[in-house]
C-alpha cells in the first residue's frame, strides 16, 4: 500500500477535453538554457536596433530599476508560441510545449505564460529578486514536476534528446549575446540630470 502523502498543490484537475500528460521528465537546466538562448538572440536584435537608431532611448531611466529588455520579450514570445508553437531557444534545444493535443498555444495562454515567467520566474529581472525567484521556480519544478505558470494553463513541457554540440553552441550564444549587450549598455552614457536651482 502506498503511504505517500499528496499535497494539495500536486493535485491536477484535468480540464474537459484535455488529456492528462506525463510530466515525470523535467529538465530545469535545459529550460533555463532555452530561455536565455532566446534572450541572448533578442538582445543582439536590440543591439542592432539601437545601432540603427543611433542613439539613446528614454527607457534608459527606467532600466536602472527594471531591465526593460526582459519585459519587451513578452509580446515577441507570445506571438512565437501562438503562431509557430516554439521559440528559437526551444526549437534549438528540442523543447516542446503542449496544451492538450495542441503544440501551438492559445494567444491568451501564451501571453499569461510569458508574463508569469517574467514576473514570477525572473522577478522582473531585478537583481537579487530574480535570483530568489529562479531558485524558488527551480525547487518547485523539481518537487512538483511542473511550474505554476504551466500548471495554470495546462501546458506540458517535453524534451527530446539532442547532441552535445547543441548544448555547447547554446552556452556560447548566451555568453556572447549577454556580454555584448551588457558591455554596450554599460558604456552608454547616463541620462543627464537636471540641475536644481536654489
- For residue 50, the model assigns a pLDDT of 80
- pLDDT of 82: 95
Residue percentage of the chain with pLDDT more than 70: 76
**In the chain, what percentage of residues exceed pLDDT 90?**
60
Split at pLDDT 50, 70, 90, the class of 189 is: low
How far is it, in rounded angstroms, from Cα 2 to Cα 83?
43
59 pLDDT exceeds 60? Answer: no
Q: CB of 65 within 8 A of CB of 126?
A: yes
pLDDT band at 68 (very low <50, low <70, confident <90, very high): confident
Rounded to a whole number of angstroms, the distance between the first and last alpha carbons of the chain is: 79
Q: Where in the chain are the domains?
A: 22-186
d(CA 118, CA 113): 9
Distance CA 161, CA 93 (A): 8
Amino acid at each position: 500500500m502506498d503511504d505517500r502523502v499528496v499535497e494539495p498543490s500536486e493535485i491536477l484537475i484535468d480540464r474537459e477535453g484535455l488529456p492528462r500528460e506525463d510530466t515525470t521528465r523535467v529538465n530545469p537546466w535545459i529550460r533555463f538554457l532555452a530561455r536565455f538562448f532566446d534572450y541572448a538572440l533578442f538582445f543582439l536584435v536590440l543591439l542592432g536596433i539601437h545601432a540603427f537608431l543611433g542613439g539613446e532611448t528614454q527607457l534608459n531611466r527606467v532600466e536602472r530599476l527594471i531591465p526593460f529588455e526582459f519585459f519587451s520579450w513578452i509580446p515577441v514570445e507570445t506571438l512565437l508560441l501562438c503562431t509557430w508553437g516554439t521559440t528559437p531557444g526551444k526549437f534549438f534545444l528540442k523543447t516542446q510545449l503542449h496544451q492538450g493535443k495542441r503544440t501551438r498555444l492559445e494567444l491568451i495562454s501564451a501571453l499569461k505564460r510569458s508574463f508569469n515567467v517574467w514576473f514570477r520566474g525572473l522577478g522582473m529581472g531585478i537583481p537579487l529578486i530574480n535570483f530568489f525567484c529562479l531558485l524558488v521556480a527551480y525547487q518547485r519544478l523539481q518537487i512538483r514536476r511542473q511550474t505554476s505558470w504551466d500548471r495554470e494553463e495546462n501546458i506540458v513541457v517535453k524534451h527530446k534528446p539532442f547532441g552535445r554540440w547543441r548544448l555547447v553552441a547554446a552556452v556560447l550564444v548566451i555568453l556572447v549575446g549577454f556580454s555584448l549587450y551588457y558591455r554596450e549598455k554599460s558604456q552608454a552614457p547616463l541620462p543627464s540630470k537636471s540641475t536644481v536651482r536654489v
